[in-house]
Structure 1
Amino acid sequence: MKKLFILFVALALVGFTVPAMAANDHWSFYGSARMGTFYTSQDEDAGDDKQVAWGGLQGNSRIGANVSGDTVGGRFEYGSGPNLRLLYGTWNFGGGTLLVGQTYGPANIFQSSQVYGGDAGMLNVGGFYTGRNPQIAVSAGGFKIALLTPRSGAVGVDGDSDNTMPKVEGSYSFSAGAVKITAAAGYQTYAVEGSSDAGDYNVTSWVVGGGANVNLGPAYVKVGAMTGRNVGNYGMWTTGASGATISGAAIEDTTTVGGIAVVGFKASDQLKFEGGYGYVNHSADDDDTTSVFYVQAPITVASGFYIVPEAGMYNYHEDSGKMTYFGAKWQMNF
């Protein structure tokens, strides 16, 4: 009986609180359903495989809401996993904004609209993407700086890993006429003790990248470049072996360089064209290189309804073969 009474009181409090919240806050709900339908073909060096990739609901399909108040706001977003994509609150303190929660860190630059691979956007082949992470961040003007949850883990077969500081990221963006430029960087380090293959060692990672977007009326050009050390240990999404390795009972760093280029043209409100090229190389004992190019023609069927035909090819270099694909993404926003 006591538990039922407590439950009744809690529900009553919620009932009285929600109208008060609604009077001061504005809630804006949204959703996006996405499917990819592609045919892929790998040559003999890449596995000699052909298949229709009717992938079902994409993982980045989502539903969420933006909440805005006088000075405090927030956002939540769930993916189709179901998985938590975004959950954070913000406070506008006048000179800037404080953010607490999970969202994209400053070291993320989005430039390509490639749809294959669940809207991959060439982020994993020359792009600059470190994902959505819990963080405390401050932004003011074009500057952003954040302290994020760090990553850790033994490079070899065993060892106890310890973080002694958070991951740190920062970025700066500015626009001048038709040009927008963004620069970003991140750093983390952690220690591994008692490993059987390399003893005690540190794993230090850093990433640096930048991008420039130029609008030329109905046309646009975007270019980006990045480099880093042990980016796999950092948590950057990329194709290929990108983490530190152990060689001769010692830790060995892996250096990564990459870049992308995108061009596009808006023919009408219903039709656009875009093409892009990406390249990434990881260098340790051996090189591990991947490149990709694609062309697409996004079609706006109705407000919120998009079909994006696309074709492209991945080249895995070092005699690892190629993979070609063609198909379309289907997307409805609501």
Structure 2
Amino acid sequence: MNMWIKVAVTMIAALTLATSSQAAEWNFYGSARVKTFHEDVDDGSGNDATNFDMGLHGNARVGAKVKVSDALKGRFEYGAKNGAANLRQLYGEWNFGAGSFLVGQTYTPIYTVYSKSVYLEDGALEKYGATSASRKPMLRLEFGGFQIAAVEPTADALGGTTTEMTIPNLEASYTAALDFATLKAVVGYNTYDVDSISVNSYVVGLGAKTKFGRAYLAGSFFLGQNLGTYGFKTATDANPVIFGASLVDNESFGCTLIAGYKLNEMVSFEAGYGYTESELDQAASRKDDASQYYLQAKITLAQGVYVYPEIGKLDQGQDNTGAEQGDTTYFGAKWQINF
């Protein structure tokens, strides 16, 4: 009897799975990406080194977009960070007519990245002037071009003993699609306590992109405070400092400028520049700055087969003591096949 019960349960489970898979539309995808770059690295103290960097991109990915109905959809995506599978995106989204409600992990509302720079594994100026806290777990409401989200909060003890968080990170954005350009405004706020000292972080920013013929221009800028404890992506030290029983805030700024041109269906070009700086609000501190500029081509060898030659430079600038942090000049390519 037990055998027949097991057989029946197995058949019911199989039928349920088959029915479920037929009810939803599963569109699987993948993207294999490999970097091959020559680097000339100056560590800031007069020491130079050359390096050839080849490996699988951490954002090489597999995933699926799932449509259950016109009102319900979802997505999952895994990457290959450090050679191991890591969750990039996993969310479900319900369209309730007047708007939509998202539950899960994806890019937060402040994400404003226009660059296609492939160095640093598709870094896209994300730490060099672009506005980004990347992907985080969240609850998000969207109405037209407006998004508001309760995002997983972040905290850094800053050398203290105990951290306490009472509310989520709050983010909002508004995107306006005009005849001549697409504009985006963003704002974010994060707060927590370290040993009864409040650490408040915020970011505000604007972005714009316009296209005319085969050419396009895009740019963004942000202003922020204590972005290191916010979880913001930046190459500078943007953490505040606890001094006695008070907090010394760290103010940040960043901007990007990108221009591109599509020569034909096979070849297009892009050039970009990004700059960011952070400075503690105290007399002895100096600006910690960093920048990147690059020139890139996108070559389409066949449908889904691409190579991205790129040449550029990362300048780590000075730290908040005035010490040089070095720079990296690079050239090479990313190789990519989408499937």
Q: Aligned-residue CA RMSD in angstroms?
A: 1.8
Cα deviation, 1:158-185, whole Å, max 9, x if unaligned, reads: 3111110011111110111130001111
Name the SS of the counterpart of 1:233 in structure 2: helix
Structure 2: which amino acid aligns with 1:114? S
Say which of 166, 169, 180 aligns to 2:168: 166
Separation (CA, whole Å) in 2 of partners of 1:100 and 1:76: 12
Q: Distance in 1 between matches of 2:43 and 2:247?
A: 35
Moved more, 34-43 or 253-262: 34-43
Q: Separation in 2 of the partners of 1:138 and 1:57?
A: 35
Q: CA deviation at 1:249?
A: 4.8
Q: 1:208 to 1:20 in 2, by over 3 A?
A: same
Q: 1:131 to 1:9 in 2, by over 3 A?
A: farther
Instruction: Supply the distance in 2 between the matched residues of 1:36 and 1:60 (Cα, whole angstroms).
Output: 11
Q: How does 1:55-204 map to 2 (within 5 A)?
A: 56-70=55-69, 71-80=71-80, 81-156=84-159, 158-193=160-195, 200-204=196-200
Partner of 1:51: 51
Q: CA deviation at 1:286?
A: 2.3
Query: Which moved further from structure 2: 31-40 or 41-50?
Result: 41-50
Shift of residue 44 of structure 1? 5.5
Q: Which residue of 2 is the match for residue 28 of structure 1?
A: 27
Greater shift, 18-27 or 168-177, is seen at: 18-27
**Residue identity opposite 2:212 in structure 1:** L
The 10-residue stretch of structure 1 (299-308 or 184-193) with the greater mean CA deviation from structure 2:
184-193
Given the two structures, how large is their TM-score scaled by the length of structure 2? 0.92
* Partner residue, 1:257: 253
Query: Sequence identity, in percent?
Result: 38
Of 277, 281, 293, 1:281 maps to 277
- 1:39/1:87 CA distance change after superposition, 3 Å: same
Determine whether 1:322 maps to 2:327.
yes
CA distance in 2, matches of 1:320, 1:136: 39
Partners in 2 of 1:183 and 1:292 — Cα distance?
23
Say if 1:315 and 1:22 are closer, same or farther in 2 by CA, change over 3 A. Answer: same
- CA distance in 2 between counterparts of 1:64 and 1:320 reads 38
CA contact (8 A) 2:41 2:327 kept: yes
Task: Give the aligned partner of residue 321 of structure 2.
Answer: none
Whole-angstrom distance in 2 between the partners of 1:239 and 1:180: 27
Give per-residue Cα distances to partners, 1:118-164, cap 9 Å, x unaligned: 100001100011011111111110011110111123111x3111110
Q: Give the residue type in structure 1 aligned to 2:277.
A: N
Structure 2 segments unaligned to the other structure (5+ residues): 319-323
Matched residues in 2 for 1:48 and 1:219: separation? 38
Q: Residues 142, 11 of structure 1: CA spacing in aligned structure 2 closer, same or farther, 3 A cutoff?
A: farther
**Could you tell me how far 1:324 is from its partner in structure 2?**
0.4
1:211 shift after superposition = 0.6
User: Gaps (5+ residues) in structure 1?
Assistant: 194-199
When the two structures are superposed, what TM-score results if normalisation uses the length of structure 1? 0.93
Give the match for residue 209 of structure 1. 205
CA-CA distance at 1:12 after TM superposition: 3.6
Matched residue type, 2:203: V
CA 332–248 in structure 1, closer or farther in 2 if over 3 Å, else same: same
